[in-house]
Amino acid sequence: MSTTSSPKPVHVLQLYPRDMNIYGDFGNALVLKQRLTWYGYQPVMHSYDPGDEFPEEVDVVVGGGGQDSGQDRIQQDLLGISEKLHALAENDAPMLMICGLYQLFGHYFETREGHRIQGIELLDITTYGTDNRLIGNVVSESEEFGQILGYENHSGQTYLGEGVKPLATVRTGEGNNEKDPHEGARYRNVIGSYLHGSLLPKNPAIADFLIGTAVAKKYGEALGDSAAPGLTALGLSELTAQARSVAATR
């Protein structure tokens, strides 16, 4: 990046931070903001709650988890912006949905009480509430991102259909459900996951996949092309090692 040109904007949309943001999920948006800055871009952060105007420009979408009641509160609004989210996903926009919003990106979440919360069916997944809450640290392995670490806390259990691939295979913990070893789901550039923690500070390779995909699509460049000299020294491997050592002490 030359010192005279201003940084190129990258628009990050955070869905429903008021109702869908637990166990530190807000941290995912902060990581994207910080890493975009490190890589020499101008992060433009948008926050979308029910009734808000949907931003005109969106390059990356993130969304967090929430109580069943929070999922109920945003359901109608989410169905209202479903078409926009589908259009973005089909256009290969990178997205990361955690837990409660991961569930609602699927067909539906049927709670323990038999109450069905309709999803936007962007991911071919279905979730059923159970009496067994899956809680604890998770270690999983993914071909794409290597080891993925996080924390799960959910009573809904998710089953994948043929339209998605698992994000990772669980080594410790449960992930999507108690029956199969899968964690999360992948479709185009959309990632769904049960992992809080927040996920991205512990797994910067996923953060760089999200922003790397966004800048490749928008500016036709690789992550790092716009980084100021010196900042590239703060490379992925070093940051990953730092994040891992912090995560390992928790």
Residue 196: active-site member: yes
Which among 1, 65, 3, 87 has a CA at the least distance from the CA of 36? 1
Q: Using the rule CB under 6 A, is 68 a contact of ligand GLN?
A: yes
Residue 11: active-site member: no
Closer residue to ligand GLN (CB): 90 or 112: 112
Nearest distance in Å: CB 183, ligand GLN: 14
Q: Are 128 and 110 in contact (CB under 8 A)?
A: yes
Instruction: Pick the catalytic residue from 11, 154, 182, 196.
Output: 196
Two tokens, residue 52: 């808000």
Q: State yes or no: cis peptide before 198, omega within 30 of 0.
A: yes
User: Considering only residues 42, 52, 54, 67, which one is a binding residue for ligand GLN as defined by CB under 6 A?
Assistant: 67
Query: Phi-psi category of 128—alpha, beta or left, where left has phi over 0 and alpha has psi -120 to 50?
Result: beta
Nearest distance in Å: CB 43, ligand GLN: 25
Q: Using the rule CB under 6 A, is 73 a contact of ligand GLN?
A: no
Beta strands in the chain (DSSP E): 8-15, 41-48, 60-63, 95-98, 108-110, 116-118, 125-142, 146-160, 168-172, 182-183, 185-187, 190-193
**Residue 160 C-beta-side C-alpha neighbours within 13 Å:** 23
Closer residue to ligand GLN (CB): 29 or 99: 99
Residues 97-156 close enough to bind ligand GLN by CB under 6 A: 99-100, 153-156
Single out the segment in contact with ligand GLN by CB under 6 A; choices: 53-61, 66-74, 201-209, 220-228.
Answer: 66-74
Nearest distance in Å: CB 162, ligand GLN: 23
**Number of chain positions touching ligand GLN (CB under 6 A):** 12
Q: Are 10 and 61 in contact (CB under 8 A)?
A: no
Q: Are 206 and 246 in contact (CB under 8 A)?
A: no
Instruction: Pick the catalytic residue from 46, 99, 154, 182.
Output: 99
Q: Is 18 assigned to a binding site?
A: no
Return residues touching ligand GLN (CB under 6 A): 22, 65-68, 71, 99-100, 153-156
Residue ranges of the annotated binding site for substrate are: 133
